Amino acid sequence: MNELTLKYGCNPNQTPAKIFMKNGGNLPIEVLNGTPGYINFMDAFNGWQLVRELKAATGLPAATSFKHVSPAGAAIGKPLSDVLKKIYFIQEDMELSPLACAYARARGADRMSSLGDFIALSDICDIPTAKLIKNEISDGIIAPGYEAEALEILKSKKKGNYNIIKIDENYIPAAIENKDIFGITFEQGRNELKIDNSVLQNIVSQNKDLSNDAKNDLILSLITLKYTQSNSVCYAKDGQATGIGAGQQSRIHCTRLAGDKSDNWHLRQCPKVLSLPFIKGKRPFEYDNAIDLYISGHEDDILADGVWQTIFSKKPDKLTKQEKQEWLSKQTGVSLGSDAFFPFADSVERAKKSGVSYIIEPGGSMRDDDVIKTCDKYGIVLVFNGIRLFHH
């Protein structure tokens, strides 16, 4: 099949719409279920590239949760702690394969943003991963294949209309890519830059102690940024993104946005949040919404009389600003990647507040010395990789 007609483009008024191969060859995908749309395919193809590269770099199964052409989360298949299982709403008796762990982590980075996501998996979708996806609100999935029972589980989603795409994992795109804007064609070489341990060699800080876990997290952050709308910053820990800031015009705003999301991920693990007295029987997204309001400074919206009774069995005490600060002050070992250099040291100051111990960025700013000095002040390991990862 050389082309596939779509219902419409980014918006219903944008017709006609299709995807096709300019070289006359066959599309490297097969739609196994549903009718994916224009944005679905954009998310699918970007997500597939991300997980393919992440697995190649780490050797572990990888997953990403995409929304509006940027990842809400990305992760590799490391086992989940009991705390992570709880905040990701995974039942105690649920079997978790490495691939399922990868998706749980990717979805769990920012569960609010991942609502209605498009999933990309590096490996054949197995039954545990399909069962996990079945419980989440999602628009579709792309993977190199599906186990027979897993495929049937996924087909049952969205009243049988769940979008399922199989991609040829051996497909190699053309070296030159084109994009039309305002009737004018842009052309460039594809970004085939390989990201692996070789980009971690130029440590410019006094502290040069990079653990293997930190190396994996820095690589994960960079590969995630490669497919995130710029400007972008990614915080990562324990094999998963914890906060992604995308599409901001200011680097510090990007760092703050991603840092706030990473803080929320850590706050979800605070004992006071873990013990919230939820009413049983609600959908996971209802708990997510309540937790987000409770920890993000809008707790009055969920704790108001007549409101808290809809989600809690009793009214919980507020999580005070001091309690938040005390919990977040214990967080360390977080990695941060930036898709371009830090023009000022303010991003380092903000990153430190979110427990960042490792930073990777291109370097090349007129104020690199200030950035290095600030990292040294906090004992942060700083790597200059000389790589810009703008994505538009």
pLDDT tens profile 153-168: 999 999 999 999 999 9
The answer to whether 7 is a known catalytic residue is no
Looking at residue 28, what is its pLDDT?
97
As a CATH number, domain 3-167 is: 3.40.140.20
b/e burial code for range 34-62 (CB count within 10 A of at least 16 → b): bebbbbbbbbbbbbbbbbbbbbebbebbb
Cα 316 to Cα 307: distance, rounded to the nearest angstrom: 12
pLDDT digits (tens, 9 = 90+) for 110-140: 999 999 999 999 999 999 999 999 999 999 9
Q: How far is CA 24 from CA 3, 21, 34, 168, in A?
A: 9, 6, 25, 17
pLDDT at 209 (0 to 100): 96
Rounded mean pLDDT, 6-18: 95
- The answer to whether residue 67 is catalytic is yes
Q: Active site residue: 280, 314, 330, 392, which one? A: 392
Residue-wise pLDDT for 279-292, tens only, equals: 999 999 999 999 99
Q: Look at residue 364 and tell me whether its pLDDT is greater than 90.
A: yes
Assigned token pair, 122: 């590096």
Contact 106, 241 (CB under 8 A): yes
Domain 194-267+329-384 = CATH 3.40.50.1100: no
Write down the pLDDT at residue 91: 87
Nearest Cα to Cα of residue 57 among 233, 230, 301, 236: 236
Compute the half-sphere exposure of residue 98: CA atoms within 13 Å on the CB side of its CA.
12
Average pLDDT over residues 362-383: 97
Spans of all domains in the chain = 3-167, 194-267+329-384, 274-318
Query: Which one from 67, 78, 226, 391 is the annotated catalytic residue?
Result: 67
In this prediction, residue 3 carries a pLDDT of: 93
What's the chain's average pLDDT? 96
From the list 68, 155, 315, 353, the catalytic residue is 68
Given a cut of 90, whether residue 177 has pLDDT beyond it is yes
Q: State yes or no: pLDDT of 1 exceeds 90.
A: no
Model pLDDT, residue 92: 84
Average pLDDT over residues 242-265: 96
Q: Which of 163, 231, 264, 385 is an active site residue?
A: 231
Question: Is the model's pLDDT at 203 over the cut of 90?
Answer: yes
CA distance 388 to 340: 5
Q: How much is the pLDDT for 233?
A: 98
- Whether 68 is a known active-site residue: answer yes
Q: Which two tokens stand for residue 205?
A: 């800080």
Task: Please say if 231 is a catalytic residue.
Answer: yes
For the segment 315-343, the average pLDDT, to the nearest whole number, is 96
Q: How far apart are CA 303 and CA 301, in angstroms?
A: 6
Matching fold, domains 3-167 and 194-267+329-384: yes
Helix 127-134 / helix 98-108 crossing angle, nearest 10 deg: 30
Give yes or no for residue 48 having a pLDDT over 90: yes
What's the DSSP call for residue 219? H
Q: What is the pLDDT of residue 315?
A: 96
Q: Is 89 a residue whose pLDDT tops 90?
A: yes
